[in-house]
């Protein structure tokens, strides 16, 4: 019988956050695939786990995935761990999972720490709907595209950032999204954990005078529906009512229904639309 791939969540800072189930699994599997074996050996030594390790990272993720699949097919059980948090979240684990499922290998996930969820729950921002962006792309063209998408995002936005890129990213977010409210979460679960609810402008001012330290999760408010509605109304207002009517009638919508839609778009009554069209007709 084929073995199973276990996705094992490991602490993002505080070692006490590891689960009993993950510890047992790491001891029982035949092999642990780790993003950085030099980092993970500290975790294994702390909990006196002697299971053999192999490296699985961004630069060998496809070739090594197929090697791991062959071992799984031979009946071995393998645990996948990342440097911190849940495998498959913003790391090469997602490729191994995809390939395992394509090859008919069973995959299970052992829940535990995840920096994105930890930050979201303590951010003070809406949690029902959120968009996880992880690290913004480094390539300029891709980065601009993603930032422009985030400008229209109505869900709470979660972004990871390293200290040496933090200020640049904050400035780009401010320039594209405007002065949004956000929570800046630093060194989550560690001794110097800190969460500050502020604005992009205020946090930029702070880090222009203070060197960023530690790993950061930025949790930003999304664009409100009221803002989107106002922007749309402003866009309609830039058109004449006749042009606005044409927008709908050219789609085959009859004039009566078009007047209703135009009135709704502009936030005025259907009577006002009718009167405006009548006045325009009389002026001709």
Per-residue pLDDT of the chain (284 residues; tens, 9 = 90+): 899 999 999 999 999 999 999 999 999 999 999 999 999 999 999 999 999 999 999 999 999 999 999 999 999 999 999 999 999 998 999 999 999 999 999 999 999 999 999 999 999 999 999 999 999 999 999 999 999 999 999 999 999 999 999 999 999 999 999 999 999 999 999 999 999 999 999 999 999 999 999 999 999 999 987 777 776 767 777 788 888 888 888 899 988 898 888 888 887 888 888 788 877 777 76
For residue 277, give the H/E element and its range: helix 270-283
Q: Alpha helix locations (H) across 140-254?
A: 140-151, 163-177, 200-209, 225-237, 241-249
Neighbouring C-beta atoms of residue 150, cutoff 10 Å? 21
The predicted model scores a pTM of 0.80
Nearest alpha-carbon partner for 51 in 6, 87, 107, 17: 6
CA dihedral 94, 99, 102, 103 (to 10 degrees): -140
Phi then psi dihedrals of residue 156, to 5 deg: -60, 140
Can you give the length of the chain in residues? Answer: 284
């Amino acid at each position: 019988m084929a073995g199973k791939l276990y996705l094992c969540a490991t602490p993002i800072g505080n070692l006490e956050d590891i689960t009993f189930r993950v510890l047992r699994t790491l001891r029982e599997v035949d092999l642990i695939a780790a993003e950085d074996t030099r980092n993970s050996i500290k975790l294994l030594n702390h909990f006196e786990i002697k299971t053999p390790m192999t490296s699985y990272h961004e630069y060998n993720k496809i070739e090594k995935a197929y090697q791991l699949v062959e071992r799984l097919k031979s009946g071995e059980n393998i645990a996948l761990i990342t440097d911190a948090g849940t495998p498959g979240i913003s790391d090469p684990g997602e490729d191994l999972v995809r390939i395992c499922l394509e090859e008919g290998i069973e995959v299970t996930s052992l829940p535990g720490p995840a920096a994105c969820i930890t930050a979201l729950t303590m951010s003070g921002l809406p949690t029902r709907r959120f968009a996880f962006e992880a690290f913004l792309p480094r390539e300029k063209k891709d980065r601009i595209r993603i930032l422009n998408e985030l400008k229209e995002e109505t869900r709470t936005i979660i972004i990871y950032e390293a200290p040496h890129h933090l200020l640049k990213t904050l400035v780009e977010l401010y320039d594209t999204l405007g002065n949004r409210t956000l929570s800046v979460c630093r060194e989550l679960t560690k001794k110097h954990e800190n969460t500050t609810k502020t604005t992009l402008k205020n946090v930029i001012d702070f880090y222009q005078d203070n060197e960023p330290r530690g790993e950061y999760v930025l949790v930003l408010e999304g664009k409100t529906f009221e803002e989107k509605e106002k922007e749309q109304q402003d866009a309609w207002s830039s058109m004449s009512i006749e042009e606005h009517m044409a927008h709908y009638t050219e789609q085959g919508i009859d004039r009566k229904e078009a007047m209703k839609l135009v009135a709704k778009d502009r936030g005025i009554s259907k009577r006002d639309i009718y009167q405006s069209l009548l006045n325009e007709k009389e002026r001709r």
